[in-house]
Amino acid sequence: MTTLWIFLALFILVSILLIWLPHFRQTALLKTATKTVRKQTNLTLFNQRLHVLEQELKDNLLDQNEFNSLKQEFEISLLQDIKQGEDEALMPHIKPKGLFWPSLMTLVVLAISGYLYSSIGAYQALAWANSPKSQQKGPLSMQQRIEMMQAQAQIQPDNSQLWFSLGHAYMATNEYKAAINAFDTAIDLAGIHAELLGPKATAMYYDAQQTLTPEIQSLIKQSLTLNPTDPSTLLLVGMDAFLNGQYQAAIDAWQLILDTNQDNIDRVAISNAINNAKAQLKEPDPQAAIETELNNTLTLNISVASALQSHINTGDTLFVFARTTTVPQVPLVAIKVSADALPTQVVLTNSDSLSEQKLIKGEAVEVIAVLSKNNNLKPQAGDLKGHIASLVVGENAQLELNTLVK
């Protein structure tokens, strides 16, 4: 955008100089020519009169005193004529330059500049910035961020990074097909890279109801061939392995991410995921450990209701906890997840315990999920909440955040 402003400013400046400098130069030359003609005319008349006087002096028609007196008068007259303004006799022959054509050409230059700015400038982005939605106070909701990026994508359709960010924003609002299209556009612009294939495979995975289809497997293989330590691809590999009870494979994939020492990853969340997977492997008998852990867990697929998608903000925190249904209600387990992970699957195990009481297969518990704006477990005004009044330990459930706390 800055480059465009500089280009337009230089274009206008150079054009105005090319239009008006010749005009002012011609006007100045015209005035100079007028003065020169007058001076030459006066000198010619003076020389002619002086020649006549000299001839009369030579023919004895004048004596020396008369000659000197008349010559002095001619010299004084010549000096007075030179000091006077423009010769009235010459002015009718001098046509001054008009301002019509320079003024018209200046207006044309300004009109062209305005057209260029409205066509390829950031007019639409500025229009969005001045819209009522952009003027509201507080952080932007995810839906507003998407609208802003969509408007920017119309102005900069060749910005691959913008399409990449838009794809992640669609993922956060469960618009998986739109996310896939956005990642495809980024790949078309930037080429095939693991950093783009991984997110696309993840969007396709969720769109396929968390099923690793042959097409997704092909994308994963292609991505890991390009970059064996791509975080987004390894996250997907680990998640699918964990959901299918392949805990060691999940640990290996997630540990590989931590070993790369990259800065753009949530190391705490990945470490928690590894610990949860390790908890499944504590028993000597792997099969028995899997069965026991699965029996004493709560697996929840958490999403946000479509009508409340606009209330998701960057920096929100998701708290999921379970407590007894009997009085007094005792908190059993809890987990904390970044809102950026939504929609997500959460597995509550006894490794997330809050008290001495544990999750026991067959017992009913109450499950509550809170999307907090202030990183507070207790629901407050503006938070989103989901609730399951009774869920038997060992079962899976869908938990939707469908209530706006007031």
pLDDT of residue 44: 67
pLDDT of residue 94: 47
Length of the chain: 406
Whether 342 and 176 have beta carbons less than 8 Å apart is answered as: no
Name the residue ranges covered by the structural domains of the chain: 2-84+101-116, 142-287, 300-404
β-partners of residue 396 are 299
pLDDT of residue 213: 93
pLDDT of residue 16: 74
List CB contacts of 131: < 8 A, sequence separation 6 or more. none
pLDDT of residue 177: 92
pLDDT of residue 37: 53
Q: Lay out the sheet containing 384-392: strands in order across.
A: 331-338, 317-324, 364-372, 384-392, 403-404
pLDDT of residue 115: 60
- Model confidence over 203-214: pLDDT tens digits? 999 999 889 999
Token digits for 359?
A: 């999750």
| Amino acid identity for residue 307 in this structure | A
User: What whole-number distance in Å separates Cα of residue 202 and Cα of residue 190?
Assistant: 19
User: What whole-number distance in Å separates Cα of residue 111 and Cα of residue 12?
Assistant: 10
pLDDT mean by block of 10 residues, the chain; 406 residues: 64 72 65 58 65 70 70 64 50 53 71 62 47 50 83 89 89 89 93 92 92 93 92 91 90 90 81 88 57 72 87 84 79 83 83 77 87 83 88 86 86
pLDDT of residue 168: 87
Phi, psi of 226 (to 5 degrees): -75, -40
The pairing of strands 396-401 and 403-404 is: unpaired
User: What whole-number distance in Å separates Cα of residue 117 and Cα of residue 105?
Assistant: 19
- Model confidence over 369-401: pLDDT tens digits? 888 888 877 888 888 889 898 888 888 889 888
Classify domain 142-287 at the CATH superfamily level: Tetratricopeptide repeat domain (1.25.40.10)
Instruction: Determine the 3-state secondary structure of 126 from DSSP.
Output: helix
pLDDT of residue 227: 92
Whether 105 and 113 have beta carbons less than 8 Å apart is answered as: no
User: For residue 40, which of 80, 78, 69 has the smallest C-alpha distance?
Assistant: 78
Confirm whether pTM is higher than 0.95. Answer: no
